[in-house]
Amino acid sequence: MHIFVTGATGFIGSAIVQELLQAGHKVLGLARSDASAKSLAAVGADVHLGTLEDLDSLQRGAAASDGVIHTAFIHDFSAYAAAAETDRRAIEAIGNVLAGSDRPFVTTAGLLGLAPGRVGTEKDKSAYSPRMSEETTMSVADKGVHASVVRLSPTVHGEGDYGFVPTLIDIARQKGVSAYVGDGTNRWPAVHRLDAAHLFRLVLEKGTAGASYHGAAEEGIPMRDIATIIGQQLNVPVVSKTPEEAAGHFGWIAHFAAMDAPSSSEFTQQQLGWTPSHLTLLADLNQGYYFKK
């Protein structure tokens, strides 16, 4: 198949492009700069110039393809509502092109906040969040689009990671301590970026319209364990922060650092034959490259 991939040069998207090419698919990658275009061409992908805000460009890319994987998102936490609205419009625009066909459309959502107080499963409905990707995807699925969602772990790890864990590492460097909230038993699911890329391909090839799949290779890692490895690698003390102290220590990530969000991928693995095989998060952190400046 010829697959249109948004976010094709990003941390996860670039791994998806390689996964698709290695499986024999052709890739049309969205590029918003000459540098992105060159990197796509270098790995053997076709280039489609455009941005998430350019809905006409997105629709042309979708129209020229046999399926779409949408991973692009504007990660600007200072204007998150606006970024979520851009994402919503992009999903609707692509969905309008694919409606009435069997061409698969795979989008991206998150696992944090899915099932507070227990292990979340694929049967759980997504809790409302400012990012409306899952709700929008299900809406276009109701209109006859073969659309499905990959809910990613808050920690998608591997070389090039710029997400939550690198933020925790930066905070530990700046503050001189590696911290967790309370007793640190709250858990985050995790998945290696290469396992996540493989999952996206499987959902594209075998996913069910209207279904949600879980990109969680590990059900839940205690935040205290993550903080401990960060402390060991940086040679700084590992300490607990009360919920009241968390905001001052962690800043914008405080709410996430305190969340307990274990999530199962049992259904996903059974339905798609997905078997994560790459390093666990803690083993990956122990490689040391996360801590090189």
What does the pLDDT average to over 221-227? 98
Q: How far apart are CA 274 and CA 266, in angstroms?
A: 9
pLDDT at 132 (0 to 100)? 86
Asked if pLDDT for residue 130 goes beyond 70, the answer is no
pLDDT at 68 (0 to 100)? 98
In DSSP notation, 242-265 reads -HHHHHHHHGGGHHHHT----B--
Amino acid at residue number 73: F
pLDDT digits (tens, 9 = 90+) for 228-238: 999 999 999 99
Mean of all residue pLDDT scores within the chain:
94
Number of C-beta neighbours around residue 184 at 10 A: 21
Class of domain 2-157+190-217+264-278: alpha beta
Confidence of residue 79 (pLDDT cuts 50, 70, 90): confident
pLDDT at 117 (0 to 100)? 80
What does the pLDDT average to over 52-77? 92
* 171-175, Cβ contacts within 8 angstroms, sequence gap of 24 or more: 171/249, 171/250, 171/251, 171/253, 172/227, 172/230, 172/231, 172/234, 172/236, 173/234, 173/236, 175/249
Domain residue extents for the chain: 2-157+190-217+264-278
Helices (H), 64-182: 80-98, 133-142, 164-175
More confident residue, 191 or 128: 191
pLDDT digits (tens, 9 = 90+) for 172-214: 999 999 999 999 999 999 999 999 999 999 999 999 999 999 9
pLDDT at 66 (0 to 100)? 97
More confident residue, 130 or 49: 49
Compute the Cα dihedral for 178, 182, 183, 188 and give only its sign. Answer: negative
Q: Which helix (H) or strand (E) holds 109?
A: strand 104-110
- Residues contacting 169, CB < 8 A, separation 6+: 230, 234, 290, 291
- Residues contacting 26, CB < 8 A, separation 6+: 1, 2, 3, 45, 46
pLDDT at 129 (0 to 100)? 64
Asked if pLDDT for residue 128 goes beyond 70, the answer is no
pLDDT at 113 (0 to 100)? 84
Residue of 49, 138, 60 lying closest to 97 (CA atoms): 60
Q: What is the DSSP letter of 78?
A: G
